Amino acid sequence: MTSICSYLRPDIASMAGYTPGEQPKVGEILKLNTNENPYPPSPAALEAIGSFATPRGAELLRRYPDPVGVDFCKAAAGALGVRPENIIIGNGSDDILTILTRAFVPQGGTIVSPTPSYLLYETLARLQGARFVTVPFTDNWQLPDPWPQRGASITFLPNPNSPSGTVLSLDSIRRLTEQLNGPLIIDEAYADFADGNALELVREGLPVVVTRTFSKGYGLAGLRFGFAVADPTLISHLVKVKDSYNCDTISLAAATAAISDQHWLLENRRLVLATRARLANELANLGFEVTPSHANFVWCRHPSHPAPPLYTALKNEGILVRLMHYPPHAPGLRITVGTEAGTSRLLAALARLVG
């Protein structure tokens, strides 16, 4: 009998698939590997979720959700200083990246991103039957100028970047858009921890899309909610590409409450940035080379202790960080900024290992 798998598209059958960071069961493990926020989300978001366990909530859940999330778009527009028509909602920002890929990249098209960077873009290229091309960052995490890949169907630029945590100035992003013959997607998953963002470039009418997530700055990775900000006419085309009901009623309500609570966001940011400074400082004291971070993680290497055995030793102690390897560079550790207590536990373990 013929296996049903033999009917798959050959490129799907042979592709490796994206490997997300490990997700162990909640417990003793100190999880510093996927950049989740170490603090609980806004109480307003939790209250919105709780409100569904009522007769009124049951009535709302019986019906389909709002396909475009009008209330969310209004709240987000108010918080960000854009118009509701500038916003499209997604089931996590990975859903937004998929929608953008389907909308802009034909089969046989080209997806470009700098490297070392977010690994999902390559998976999106494979799924779309597109070529994936990377452009190395310069030694100090800037973009090469001139930019060598001008003809891409889409160019993805995470800013702040992962795994480095570095940011590019608005001027260097503007310079990139001048050279491209295609859209630039600025993936701002970590913008809540940075000093600036690229929303201004959307307002200026440049051919850019800014994507955001609730998984990092808002502490709601389990909820799955993200959005993009772009030209209103482009948004109306993107809406045709997305699943009709890509966001559920509960996540829409929670995300609306969360983005309306900017006080929570700023207070959380203050805590994470204070711990980030301490983490970077103490890692440097232990002899690590630490890249200055504008996100909620730090990227580091130790000149005399290779990253792979450090990763394994930490894991054996119940501390999970992300080991990342981008040849030809040596492997490094991407460590999420945790609570003060979690950071103390990590630093104590590393002091024993490299001390």
* Binding residues among 68-127 for ligand PLP as defined by CB under 6 A: 92-94, 118
How many residues in the shown chain lie near ligand PLP by CB under 6 A? 13
Q: Which of 215, 251, 260, 296 binds ligand PLP (CB under 6 A)?
A: 215
Applying CB under 6 A, does 162 fall inside the site for ligand PLP? yes
* Binding residues among 8-67 for ligand PLP as defined by CB under 6 A: none
Sole window of 17-25, 215-223, 276-284, 285-293 interacting with ligand PLP (rule: CB under 6 A) = 215-223
Closer to ligand PLP by Cβ: residue 90 or 349: 90
Sole window of 212-220, 276-284, 310-318, 344-352 interacting with ligand PLP (rule: CB under 6 A) = 212-220
Minimum separation from the CB atom of position 211 to ligand PLP (A): 7
Rounded to whole angstroms, the Cα distance separating 314 from 164 reads 20
Cα–Cα distances (Å) from 62 to 49, 51, 55, 72, 249, in that order, read 15, 14, 11, 20, 10
Evaluate whether 199 touches 82 at the Cβ level (below 8 Å).
Answer: yes
* Binding residues among 168-187 for ligand PLP as defined by CB under 6 A: 187
Closest CA to 276 of 224, 336, 212: 336
Applying CB under 6 A, does 189 fall inside the site for ligand PLP? yes
Closer to ligand PLP by Cβ: residue 196 or 306: 196
Helices (H), the chain: 10-14, 43-50, 55-62, 70-80, 93-104, 120-128, 170-179, 199-203, 232-241, 249-260, 262-285, 307-316, 340-354
Rounded to whole angstroms, the Cα distance separating 2 from 300 reads 49
By CB under 6 A, name the binding residues for ligand PLP: 92-94, 118, 158, 162, 187, 189, 213, 215-216, 221, 226
